[in-house]
Structure 1
Amino acid sequence: MGLRRMCLELVICVAVILSEMDAAAVEFPIALSPHCQDRCGNVRVPYPFGTTKNCSLNDDFLMRCDDSSGHPPELIAGINLTVTNISMDGELDILMYIAKECYKNGELQYSNDPWLNYPAFTVSNTKNKFFTIGCDTYAYLNAFRNNYPFSIGCMSICRSPQNVENGSCTGIGCCQVEIPKGLKNFTLDARSYHNHKNVSEFNPCSFAFVTREEKFKFSSDYLISLREKETYPMVLDWAIGDEKCETAQNKPDSVCGGNSSCDNPPNGVAGYRCKCKEGYDGNPYLPHGCQDINECQLRKPACNATAKCTNIEGSFTCTCPDGYEGDGKIDGTGCSRPKASGSHAKIIIIALIAISIGLIVLFVGGSSLYCGLKRRKLFKLKEKFFQQNGGLFLQQKLSNDRTSMQTVKVFRAEELEKATNNYDESRVLGQGSYGTVYREVLPDNKLVAIKKSKFCDQSQIEQFINEVIVLTQINHRNVVKLLGCCLETEVPLLVYEFITNGTLSKHIHDKVLSSSLSWEKRLKIATDTAGALAYMHFSASIPIIHRDVKPANILLDDNYSAKVSDFGTSRLVPLDQTQLTTLVQGTLGYLDPEYFHSSQLTEKSDVYSFGVVVAELLTGKKALSFDGPESDRNLAMYFSSAVKEDRLHQILEVHLVSDGNIYEIDEVANLAKRCLSVRGEDRPTMKEVAMELDRLRNMEKHQLGKANLCTEETDYCVTTPAVHCFSIGVDDGCSSTSTTVGYEVSMRTQVLKPLDDGR
Structure 2
Amino acid sequence: MVFQILWLLCSIFDAISGQSISSSCQASCGNVSIPYPFGIGPSCYLDHWFEVVCNNDSSGSPKPVLRSPNLEVLNISFGVGIYLRSSTVRVNYPTFSICTTNGSNKKQNEVLAKSPFIFSQSENQFIAMGCNNSASIKSSDGSFIGCMSNCDSGYKVINGSSCYGTNNCCQTTIPSYLDAFETSIDPTSNNTQGCNSAFLVEEGWFQKRGSINTSSNIMSYVPVVLEWGIFDTSFNSLPTTKDASFAKITYNCTESSVSGRNTTFTCSCNNGFEGNPYLLGGCQDTNRAYLLNYMSDINECDRIPNRCNSFNGSAGSTSTRYCENTYGSFSCQVVDPPKPQVGAITLGTSSSLGLFVLLVGGWWSYKVVKKRKMIKQKNMFFKRNGGLLLQQQLSSHEANVENIRLFNSKDLEKATDRFNMNRILGQGGQGTVYKGMLADGRIVAVKKSRVIDEAKLEEFINEVVVLSQINHRNVVKLIGCCLETEVPLLVYEYVPNGTLFQYVNGQVEEIPLTWDMRLRIATEIAGALFYLHSAASTPIYHRDIKSTNILLDDKYRAKVADFGTSRTIAVDQTHLTTLVHGTFGYLDPEYFQSSQFTEKSDVYSFGVVLAELLTGEKAISSTRTQESRSLATYFIQSMEENNLFDIIDSRVLNEGKKEDIITVANLAKRCLNLNGKKRPTMKEVAMELEAVQMLQKVPNLQQNYEELQYVQAEINDLWDVVPTSTVPTSSADDRPLLFSQ
Q: For the superposition of Structure 1 and Structure 2, which TM-score range results when normalised by the shorter chain?
A: 0.5 to 0.7
Equivalent residue, structure 1, for 2:651: 655
Listed as ranges, the gaps of 5+ residues in structure 2 are 20-36, 54-65, 76-90, 98-108, 113-200, 209-226, 229-248, 252-267, 303-319, 733-741
What is the CA–CA distance in structure 1 between the aligned matches of 2:295 and 2:475, rounded to whole Å? 67
What is the CA–CA distance in structure 2 between the aligned matches of 1:480 and 1:280, rounded to whole Å? 41
Equivalent residue, structure 2, for 1:293: 288
Q: Identify which of 448, 462, 470 aligns with 1:474.
A: 470
Report SS of the residue matched to 1:674: helix
Is residue 373 of structure 2 the alignment partner of residue 377 of structure 1? Answer: yes
Contact 2:324 2:332 in 1 (8 A): no
What is the CA–CA distance in structure 2 between the aligned matches of 1:562 and 1:289, rounded to whole Å? 48
Q: Identify which of 364, 384, 387 aligns with 2:383.
A: 387
Equivalent residue, structure 1, for 2:330: 335
What is the CA–CA distance in structure 2 between the aligned matches of 1:285 and 1:529, rounded to whole Å? 51
Is residue 578 of structure 2 the alignment partner of residue 631 of structure 1? Answer: no
Q: Identify which of 43, 48, 51 aligns with 1:93.
A: 51
Contact 1:409 1:483 in 2 (8 A): yes
Higher relative CO (CA 8 A, sep ≥ 6), structure 1 or 2?
2
Contact 2:49 2:67 in 1 (8 A): no
Equivalent residue, structure 2, for 1:596: 592
User: How does 1:428-443 map onto structure 2 within 5 Å?
Assistant: 428-443=424-439
Q: Kindly report the root-mean-square deviation, in angstroms, between the aligned alpha carbons of the 2 structures.
A: 5.2
Q: Which amino acid aligns with 1:682?
A: K
User: In the TM superposition, what is the alpha-carbon distance from 1:688 to its structure 2 partner?
Assistant: 1.4
1:97-146 Cα offsets, whole Å, 9 max, x none, are xxxxxxxxxxxxxxxxxxx9999x824699xxxxxxxxxxxxxxxxx966
Is residue 723 of structure 2 the alignment partner of residue 747 of structure 1? Answer: no
1:483-525 Cα offsets, whole Å, 9 max, x none, are 2221122222222222233221111112554872111111111
1:251-275 Cα offsets, whole Å, 9 max, x none, are xxx99xx999xxxxxxxxxxxxx99
Is residue 679 of structure 2 the alignment partner of residue 690 of structure 1? Answer: no
Is residue 299 of structure 2 the alignment partner of residue 304 of structure 1? Answer: yes
Equivalent residue, structure 1, for 2:63: none
Contact 1:615 1:635 in 2 (8 A): yes
User: In the TM superposition, what is the alpha-carbon distance from 1:531 to its structure 2 partner?
Assistant: 0.6
TM-score, scaled to structure 1: 0.56
What is the CA–CA distance in structure 2 between the aligned matches of 1:599 and 1:665, rounded to whole Å? 34
Q: Which amino acid aligns with 1:417?
A: E
Report SS of the residue matched to 1:451: strand
Equivalent residue, structure 2, for 1:24: 13
Equivalent residue, structure 2, for 1:148: 95
1:299-320 Cα offsets, whole Å, 9 max, x none, are 865232549xxxxxxxxxxxxx
Query: Which one has the largest radius of gyration?
Result: 1
What is the CA–CA distance in structure 2 between the aligned matches of 1:403 and 1:124, rounded to whole Å? 50
1:594-644 Cα offsets, whole Å, 9 max, x none, are 222332222112111111110110111111122332123211111122122
Equivalent residue, structure 1, for 2:666: 670
What is the CA–CA distance in structure 1 between the aligned matches of 2:460 and 2:7, rounded to whole Å? 51
Cα 1:93–1:491, aligned 2, differ >3 Å: closer, same or farther? Answer: same
User: In the TM superposition, what is the alpha-carbon distance from 1:593 to its structure 2 partner?
Assistant: 2.0
Q: Which runs of 4+ in 1 moved over 6 A?
A: 16-20, 27-30, 116-119, 184-187, 297-300, 322-327, 343-346, 352-361, 718-724, 742-746, 750-753
User: In the TM superposition, what is the alpha-carbon distance from 1:413 to its structure 2 partner?
Assistant: 1.4
1:505-560 Cα offsets, whole Å, 9 max, x none, are 11111255487211111111111100110111011111011111111111222333
Q: Higher mean Cα deviation, 573-582 or 376-385? A: 573-582
Equivalent residue, structure 2, for 1:540: 536
Is residue 616 of structure 2 the alignment partner of residue 620 of structure 1? Answer: yes
Cα 1:714–1:403, aligned 2, differ >3 Å: closer, same or farther? Answer: same
What is the CA–CA distance in structure 1 between the aligned matches of 2:16 and 2:374, rounded to whole Å? 21
Equivalent residue, structure 2, for 1:560: 556
User: In the TM superposition, what is the alpha-carbon distance from 1:282 to its structure 2 partner?
Assistant: 3.5
What is the CA–CA distance in structure 1 between the aligned matches of 2:656 and 2:335, rounded to whole Å? 115
Q: Identify which of 559, 571, 575 aligns with 2:571.
A: 575
Contact 1:681 1:752 in 2 (8 A): no
Report SS of the residue matched to 1:627: coil
Is residue 519 of structure 2 the alignment partner of residue 523 of structure 1? Answer: yes
What is the CA–CA distance in structure 2 between the aligned matches of 1:691 and 1:376, rounded to whole Å? 58
Q: Which amino acid aligns with 1:302?
A: D
Equivalent residue, structure 1, for 2:71: 122
Contact 2:479 2:492 in 1 (8 A): yes
Cα 1:355–1:714, aligned 2, differ >3 Å: closer, same or farther? Answer: same
1:382-433 Cα offsets, whole Å, 9 max, x none, are 1112112211111111111277343111112111111111111222222232
Contact 2:393 2:399 in 1 (8 A): no
What is the CA–CA distance in structure 1 between the aligned matches of 2:362 and 2:695, rounded to whole Å? 77
Report SS of the residue matched to 2:697: helix
Cα 1:355–1:544, aligned 2, differ >3 Å: closer, same or farther? Answer: same
User: In the TM superposition, what is the alpha-carbon distance from 1:654 to its structure 2 partner?
Assistant: 1.0
Equivalent residue, structure 2, for 1:396: 392
1:448-503 Cα offsets, whole Å, 9 max, x none, are 22222223222332222222222222222211222222112222222222223322
Equivalent residue, structure 2, for 1:498: 494
Contact 1:723 1:745 in 2 (8 A): no
Equivalent residue, structure 2, for 1:212: none
User: How does 1:176-325 map onto structure 2 within 5 Å?
Assistant: 281-283=275-277, 289-291=283-285, 292-293=287-288, 301-304=296-299, 306=301
Equivalent residue, structure 1, for 2:454: 458
Q: Which amino acid aligns with 2:277?
A: N
Cα 1:447–1:678, aligned 2, differ >3 Å: closer, same or farther? Answer: same
Identical-residue share of aligned pairs (%): 41
What is the CA–CA distance in structure 2 between the aligned matches of 1:501 and 1:275, rounded to whole Å? 38
Q: Which amino acid aligns with 2:459?
A: Q
Aligned residue pairs: how many? Answer: 503
User: In the TM superposition, what is the alpha-carbon distance from 1:23 to its structure 2 partner?
Assistant: 3.8
Contact 1:501 1:555 in 2 (8 A): yes
Cα 1:497–1:678, aligned 2, differ >3 Å: closer, same or farther? Answer: same
Cα 1:596–1:305, aligned 2, differ >3 Å: closer, same or farther? Answer: farther
Cα 1:549–1:186, aligned 2, differ >3 Å: closer, same or farther? Answer: closer
TM-score, scaled to structure 2: 0.57
What is the CA–CA distance in structure 2 between the aligned matches of 1:525 and 1:453, rounded to whole Å? 29
Cα 1:84–1:420, aligned 2, differ >3 Å: closer, same or farther? Answer: farther
Report SS of the residue matched to 1:669: helix
Equivalent residue, structure 2, for 1:135: none
